[in-house]
Amino acid sequence: MSCMEIQEGISAFIDDAVPEEEAGSFFSHIADCEECRRFLQTSVRMRGMIARIPEPGVTPHLDARVLAIALPAGRSGGKARRLVSSLWQQRLGVPLPAVAAGIALIVLSALVSAWLWLSPARAPEQEVVYIFGMPQIEVYSGTHADAQ
């Protein structure tokens, strides 16, 4: 076994989670390896120090007190949706339905913009206009000789 595997197994050994069949190879490696032996000694000392730390005094009604703080007065603490909505309003001061409507409006406008952007451009319909014009002609009555 490698030093890495032994050092990973030291926590399991301290917690009595290493079977006796594996303990023989485990201790033979520790007997030959100074680094793993120091790691085991440090881990055992640390475990002893942690065991001496007193457990904090927690009252049996701590859960009810925490939920009462998290929820405003007059609301029951059974629904996660109410808790999320309440926390949202306390932090941001904006009603959750208004935020949902705003997000829906943004998504809808993005979809419409994308549809307009990606739709093929159509050429505008052309309208043909014919303009008839006649040159201005002066008409004289009489003969040609009179005109001179």
pLDDT of residue 40: 87
According to the model, what pLDDT value does residue 107 have? 95
Asked if the structure places residue 142 within a domain, the reply is no
* Cα 139 from Cα 16, distance rounded (Å): 128
Q: Within a domain: residue 122?
A: no
- 42 occurs within a structural domain: yes
Domain that holds residue 26: 3-52
* Residue 137 counted as domain residue: no
What single string gives the DSSP state of each residue in 16-65?
T-S-HHHHHHHHHHHHH-HHHHHHHHHHHHHHHHHHHSPPP---TTHHHH
Cα–Cα separations (whole angstroms), residue 144 to 95, 137, 138, 147 = 96, 16, 14, 5
Asked whether residue 59 is assigned to any structural domain, the reply reads: no
Q: Look at residue 37 and tell me if it is in a domain.
A: yes
Predicted local distance difference test score (pLDDT) of residue 83: 61
* pTM > 0.85: no
Domain count, the chain: 2
User: pLDDT tens digits, the chain, 148 residues: what are they?
Assistant: 788 888 888 778 777 777 777 777 778 888 888 998 898 889 888 888 888 888 777 777 777 777 777 655 555 545 555 666 666 566 666 677 788 898 999 999 999 998 888 877 776 677 777 777 767 767 676 665 554 5
118 contacts: CB under 8 Å, gap ≥ 6: none
In a domain, 140, yes or no: no
pLDDT at position 90, please? 64
Asked whether residue 17 is domain-assigned, the answer is yes
